[in-house]
Amino acid sequence: MSFLQMFNLSFGFLGVQIAYALQSANISRIFATLGADPHQLSFFWILPPLMGMIVQPLIGKWSDKTWCRWGRRKPYLLVGALIAVLVMAFLPNAGSLRLSTAYVFLGLNAAMWFGLFSLIFLDTSINVAMQPFKMMVGDMVSEEQKTEAYSIQSFLCNAGSLFGYLFPIFFTWIGISNTAPEGVVPDSVKWSFYCGAALLILCVLFTFVKVKEMPPKEYAEFHGIDLSKTEEKKENPGFVKLLVRAPKTFWTVGLVQFFCWAAFLFMWTYTNGAIADTCWHTHDVASADYQAAGNWVGVLFAVQAVGSLCWALFIPRFKSHRASYIVSLLAGAVGFVSTAFIHNQYLLFVSYFLIGFAWAAMLALPFTILTNSLHGDHMGTYLGLFNCTICLPQIIAAACGGLLLKALGGAQVSMLVAAGVLLVLGSLAVFLVKEGKDKG
């Protein structure tokens, strides 16, 4: 494929990542504003990845069998994007619906329950829209070009992150209020979600119109699948049988993924509270300083995206995928641990720039290594199942986050140090990864 074809194939990922960046940078801020205790914050991140674990394998399996006039994967990315747009319009208004004191259940007020279910639908729909882009690269790009194709996807992903992360501080800069009454999300955050929703659907529609997926016969020829034998067997293996047959690469890369995604769950959950404490010296979520720290989270995550953009250019230059993976994760670990020793908001740029190295590797390398180990007949299903290696660690990290925070003394910055330790463990797990197709 030409560079332009690979670019068009992943352009919609730009819009998807804008939505994902808005979610990851602002969810803890939104729920803290709605009244969540710091020890509760990680629990709000359990249900979204749990839904992802359920939905993604189904999307992969269904799309493997979907051959229609609009394509194979494209119908799913469009539906996911449309649902995400609707949810993005409602989520930041959770505190504006006069629900905060109307109802309390299991210690959560009605606004938090509304926000929680909105988050479930948002994360699920974003994943439904995101996964087809990874599948289409696996479907349509040769093994020799996959590193380049996923690097383009990583570039667009981080470019989208820049928009999503910087929207709140941009809207504050042009005069939109960054403070609001207690329990209400500021207008700067609301407008960020509205603009993100608009860009999401526009980018996805661009890819939907520009990309033409392969018809069944061409796909079979491209992947070396014998259609006559496939028809004779009429095999439709379930998830369990496919997991038993999964190449060793699936499991070893999955182990690396476990440590990496648990680390980033801690970053998304605790960065706001951590820097509000270490740089602004406040724990008052209703204060202007706390909201200023919330805006700065977007700036730091944007610096992370710039670091990821820069590092993504170097990843294809490594002769070994494993070497680039290890170096990237160790750089990210240094970035995370350094946050505990920095009390200047600008010096944190160095920390999050290094964290971006790990993020670039996480976006590009696992799918390159995995898809090169797979045959084409169940590509989507395996990628859907592989998404569980993204969701499961987030669920476990979210479930344990409050207990770990308490064990580490209650300082939220300690959770960023824990994230660094997890990335070191991930870098060690890379030594178990073997590339290429196996006969197992």
- Asked if the model's pLDDT at residue 339 lies above 90, the reply is yes
Q: Residue 223: its pLDDT value, please?
A: 67
CA distances from 297 to 226, 285, 373, 420 (A): 51, 14, 37, 18
Q: What would the CATH number be for the domain defined by 3-432?
A: 1.20.1250.20
Whether 46 and 399 have beta carbons less than 8 Å apart is answered as: yes
- Asked if the model's pLDDT at residue 439 lies above 70, the reply is no
CA distances from 301 to 30, 131, 348, 380 (A): 17, 22, 10, 30
Overall pTM surpassing 0.75 (yes/no): no
Name residue, tokens 């034998």. 229
**pLDDT tens column, 124-178:** 888 788 878 877 887 888 777 877 887 788 788 878 888 888 888 899 889 998 8
User: 109: number of CA atoms within 13 Å, CB side?
Assistant: 18
For the beta carbon of residue 367, count every other beta carbon within 10 angstroms: 23
* Mean pLDDT to the nearest integer, 227-248: 64
The most confident of the ranges 101-110, 367-376, 384-393 is: 384-393
- Angle, to 10 degrees, between the axis of helix 321-338 and the axis of helix 288-314? 160
- Sorted by where each begins, the domain ranges of the chain are 3-432
Q: Residue 263: its pLDDT value, please?
A: 95
**pLDDT tens column, 270-308:** 998 899 889 988 877 778 888 888 888 888 988 998 898
